[in-house]
Amino acid sequence: MKISYRWLARHIDLSGLSAEQVAADLTLSTCEVESVERFAPCLSDVTVGHVLTREKHPDADKLSVCSVDIGQGAPLQIVCGAPNVRAGLKVAVATVGTSLAPDFKIKKSKIRGVESCGMICSERELGLGEDHEGIWELDGAAALGQPVAAALDLADFVIEIDNKSLTHRPDLWGHRGFARELSAIYQRPLKPLDTSLPPAGALAPFPVRIESKACARFMALCLEGAANGKSPLWLRTLLLAVGQRPIDVLVDVSNFVMLDLAQPNHLFDRRRLSSEGIVVRDARAGERLTTLDGIERKLEPADLLICAGPKPIGLAGVMGGEETKVASDTTALVLEVASFHAATIRRTASRLALRTDASARFEKTLANRDLPEAAAGHLVRTLQSIQPAVRLSAPVTDQRNEQALVAATAELSILLRPERVRKLLGVALDDAAISAILKRLGLAVSPADKPGWVQVKIPCERATKDLTEEQDLVEEVGRIHRFGNIPTRALLETIRPPQLGARRAIVRKLEDRLALAAGFHQTISYSFLADSLRAKLGIEGLPHSEVVNPVAEGLSAMRRSVVPSLLGLLESNRRHGQDVRLFEVGKGYLPYAPQEAGISPTSSAEPKEVHELGLVWARPPKAKQRFDEGVLAELHAVVADLLPALGRADLVWGPARTGELPAFAHPVRALVGRADKAPDARAVAVLAELEPSVRRALGLVGDLDSEVAFAALSIDDLQHAVAALATRYHPVSSFPGIKVDVALALPSAVPAADALAAIERAAKGLARGIELFDVYSGPNIAAGHRSLAFHVVLEDSSKTLEDKDRHKFLERLAKEAQGLGGELRAES
């Protein structure tokens, strides 16, 4: 919202205070100021001139050659094209060298052979609206040779306020409210404002009927004797300064009162209203109304209507109707000043995308006492000051909907403890100083019955929203005293050392391990998952939490797990690079669905949010040289290192059971990790290559051909696992162990896990380490068999192992190998 410094000065003496100073003080005490700018800066650059003579241009019918006195030196010869230029006029002269716009500098020139030394300006050329009919005829009293701005007292500054910082202050939506703030800040009195109504004529009062709960009050005033036309300069310039286009004097005065006191109002052409008067009622479904902007609006029962008899003539609190607006020949008027329900107006304005100056004010909850009558009086007095013939032809109609009035009016008196102010602000202000600040804001302070308390009476315009309880007054004192003047205090309390939290501690270690040791890059993704991506991954059939109003079509689903987000990033990243390693620690959102096993909602409606670690690795495929190469094996190495990095034994890895793999996982090249060996243990981690058709759907083919593996780990489960799993420490034996390398040739169908178990059994608890170092099939190995080679370390904490221990181990292992259908092929 824009406010005008010159306008403020109508309400309070601002002498000695620059607009910048006012803006700075408003910033620190009241609201957020966005900018301060000079209004129509050209006005200070043009000079008041006096047209001494006007001759016809010898070679052009429509041009005049004028001699203009600008109060210094010889009169200037200026060629002018305006029809209204004539001798004796006071005009605005732009002399040679003056810039009226960045690309419009006045130069000495010859026009049709006649020299011209300047320009006589129109209002439009000076930024004063659209009037370009002719040159601007200044008031005859304007001082010759002065800058126009000074001579006509038009110098002004526009202070732009951030509307968001005024949400809670309906009183600040008019200049008088700001002046009241400045009055408190500078301790200067407000100038009086005459808002009394003149005596009324004897005609019958205008009939008004309120039929809706959304209208608390409706005043109607019958005015006669108006003559519409152009507004006086002071009014037009004030409106222009705050960004309002002057229309005609009736509309301008109506707007002026709204921008002055914050109370919207409306003027109807009396001729267009029926004798039945005005009815305020809720709209009916399907009703239509053409608003002032010429657009036909489709209405709903939630909208509030102003009607002439049965016929809608205005959208209450938002915009008037086309049919009843004032015209150039309007002389008789009905003035509406009303109070409407804030949320009703807000919803209508918002639904119709019709945010007007009126709706912006009504939706802040304007006072419905004192304010409407003040606005009505102010409007009549202002109009009379311009057009003395205007008179009130009938007594004022003032319909009140008492029920709505009470609901919309807050308690007008608050009990306050000055001690509470001192305590909450942390400042030593005595009772008198606190009272003085409140009084400066227009609040009346009086003693209360209880000792230590005072009674504070709140004026209506502050009582609707902003000032309703004790702590609100603490803020009032604080901001006028200035929060910056409050001394800084340390928090004085015993610090109880907090825990970072088990999950955070684990997550940090995982992140560090992945980023610093495994070369993965952390990303943080959006929580939404595009429908198209869900379809590519084959998970579109799963229930997802959804938002009603997505930012874009097809982006309403919330991800159930982190990995799909990461898979969606592969194609673009592979386009820019070869090796794509990404991880994310984030949330999956599981919608509450009772049939889903294992998901219990925290409340009946709340979805469950799960913490997950997701990893993806994509890179151009390369030929595998060894069993431990390939993206799946290498990602397995990374993931299998995570629990050890947390100081725990690794998960138990093995094949997935039905239902444990997501749809986008490769059906065979996949494995899961469990926190223990129990057959029913839940999978904490899933590790897999991509399902081949998903890899194609994700575009990882052709130039972007990739081998891709992903892993998903439940951080919630890991947290439990970390608590449950044994720590990794194993005492260092003081007796030397022995190293044995063994190779077992076994049928290929025998899982490696069985070979490992066989070694464990053969070692009889002495196996300190078993490490697979080769997988081989080919010459020297029977068809359908493969050789698994292991480094085995045997160690006994109570004695030195000898050669016979080694032999016994190998004998047992040979038997185990036979039991698996193979043989112990080599040892060393």
C-alpha 827, offset from chain centre = 70
* Residue 559 in contact with other proteins, rule: CB under 8 A: no
Residues from 606 through 665 that contact other proteins (CB under 8 A):
606-607, 609
Look up residue 60 and give its two tokens. Answer: 């052009």
Look up residue 825 and give its two tokens. Answer: 């092929």
Look up residue 43 and give its two tokens. Answer: 């006005």
Choose between 109 and 167: whose C-beta lies nearer to other proteins. Answer: 167
Burial zone of 15 (CB within 10 Å; 0-12 exposed, 13-18 middle, 19+ buried): exposed
Do strands 580-590 and 521-522 pair parallel, antiparallel, or not at all (unpaired)? parallel
Look up residue 404 and give its two tokens. Answer: 């709505």
Please select the residue that binds other proteins; options are 19, 23, 374, 474, rule is CB under 8 A: 474
Contact 263, 362 (CB under 8 A): no
Please select the residue that binds other proteins; options are 580, 613, 725, 813, rule is CB under 8 A: 580
Please select the residue that binds other proteins; options are 247, 424, 652, 820, rule is CB under 8 A: 424
Choose between 69 and 282: whose C-beta lies nearer to other proteins. Answer: 282
* Residue 523 in contact with other proteins, rule: CB under 8 A: yes
Contact 330, 250 (CB under 8 A): yes
CB of 630 to other proteins, least distance (A): 18
Choose between 289 and 510: whose C-beta lies nearer to other proteins. Answer: 510
C-alpha 140, offset from chain centre = 52
**By CB under 8 A, which span of 503-511, 625-633, 690-698, 818-826 interacts with other proteins?**
503-511
Choose between 110 and 489: whose C-beta lies nearer to other proteins. Answer: 489
Choose between 494 and 828: whose C-beta lies nearer to other proteins. Answer: 494
**By CB under 8 A, which span of 446-454, 520-528, 627-635, 644-652 interacts with other proteins?**
520-528
Contact 215, 280 (CB under 8 A): yes
Size of the site for other proteins (CB under 8 A): 93
**By CB under 8 A, which span of 85-93, 398-406, 473-481, 700-708 interacts with other proteins?**
473-481
* Residue 587 in contact with other proteins, rule: CB under 8 A: yes
* Residue 504 in contact with other proteins, rule: CB under 8 A: yes
Please select the residue that binds other proteins; options are 73, 484, 598, 702, rule is CB under 8 A: 484
The closest of 554, 549, 552 to 531, measured between CA atoms, is 554
Please select the residue that binds other proteins; options are 193, 515, 652, 752, rule is CB under 8 A: 515
The closest of 668, 484, 698 to 573, measured between CA atoms, is 698
DSSP single-letter state for residue 516: I
Please select the residue that binds other proteins; options are 478, 614, 662, 737, rule is CB under 8 A: 478
Please select the residue that binds other proteins; options are 512, 629, 802, 811, rule is CB under 8 A: 512
Give CA–CA dist 598/596, Å, rounded.
6
Give CA–CA dist 478/39, Å, rounded.
33
Choose between 526 and 773: whose C-beta lies nearer to other proteins. Answer: 526
Q: For helices 175-186 and 431-440, what crossing angle results, to 10°?
A: 150
Please select the residue that binds other proteins; options are 103, 110, 164, 310, rule is CB under 8 A: 164
Contact 335, 398 (CB under 8 A): no
Contact 119, 47 (CB under 8 A): no
Residues from 358 through 417 that contact other proteins (CB under 8 A):
363-364
Q: What is the DSSP string of 707-749?
A: EEEEEEEEHHHHHHHHHHSPB---PPPSS--EEEEEEEEEETT
Contact 687, 639 (CB under 8 A): yes
* Residue whose entry in the numeric block shows the structure tokens 């004998």: 811
Choose between 278 and 358: whose C-beta lies nearer to other proteins. Answer: 358
**CA-only gyration radius of the chain, Å:** 42
* Tally of CB atoms within 10 A around 105: 12
Please select the residue that binds other proteins; options are 128, 280, 425, 686, rule is CB under 8 A: 425
* Residue 488 in contact with other proteins, rule: CB under 8 A: yes
CB of 312 to other proteins, least distance (A): 24
Residues from 289 through 348 that contact other proteins (CB under 8 A):
342-343, 346
* Residue 167 in contact with other proteins, rule: CB under 8 A: yes
Please select the residue that binds other proteins; options are 569, 649, 770, 781, rule is CB under 8 A: 569
Residues from 590 through 609 that contact other proteins (CB under 8 A):
602-607, 609
Choose between 558 and 687: whose C-beta lies nearer to other proteins. Answer: 558
